[in-house]
Amino acid sequence: MPPENFTDKPNVEARLLASLNLLDAAEACALLRIETDDPEGAMQAMAREDGVIALVQHGRTMLPLFQFDLTNSRIFDVVRAILKLRSARISNLRLCYWLTRVHVDFGCAPAQRFGHEDAAIVAAFRRYIEPVRHG
């Protein structure tokens, strides 16, 4: 017998992942013009070095499209700056949530302003991660 409060609704992580345009590792390597026999390994290595935001979906490395400068076949510089600032308590999933939700400073999601308002995005992220101090 199922629990009384059982629901078929997807969990928060699944809903967020479904709302993002994601590339698999092979697509990301092709976009970045990286030739490799191991695209998963290449993207995971970039993620470990804080060079790219990587998520795991169904056991596969997936990369949010918003971080790619499609015109110049590269990762936006602001992505690396944000990844260097964030603490370990902020997961890539939580970071994606912050980057893709409307922000009062921009009137849109910060990710929509990549390449245009990078300094303002980094400043907003600094405020977001600042510890709350009372007293």
Write the pLDDT tens digit of every residue in 73-90. 999 999 999 999 999 899
Radius of gyration of the chain from its Cα atoms, rounded to whole angstroms? 17
In a domain, 3, yes or no: no
Number of domains, the chain = 1
Most confident listed range (53-57, 75-79, 84-88, 130-134): 75-79
Pairing of β 60-64 and β 68-69? unpaired
Model confidence pLDDT, tens digit, residues 1-40: 445 555 555 688 888 888 899 999 999 999 999 999 999 9
- What pLDDT is attached to residue 102? 96
pLDDT of residue 105 exceeding 50, the answer is yes
Share of the chain above pLDDT 90, in %: 76
In a domain, 124, yes or no: yes
Yes or no: say if 45 and 34 are a contact pair by the CB < 8 Å rule: no
In a domain, 59, yes or no: yes
In a domain, 134, yes or no: no
Among the listed ranges 30-44, 91-105, 121-135, which one has the minimum average pLDDT value? 121-135
In a domain, 6, yes or no: no
Return the amino acid letter for 44.
Answer: Q
In a domain, 135, yes or no: no
- Cβ–Cβ contacts within 10 Å for residue 98, how many? 18
Domain membership of residue 33 as a residue range: 12-129
Share of the chain above pLDDT 70, in %: 91
In a domain, 4, yes or no: no
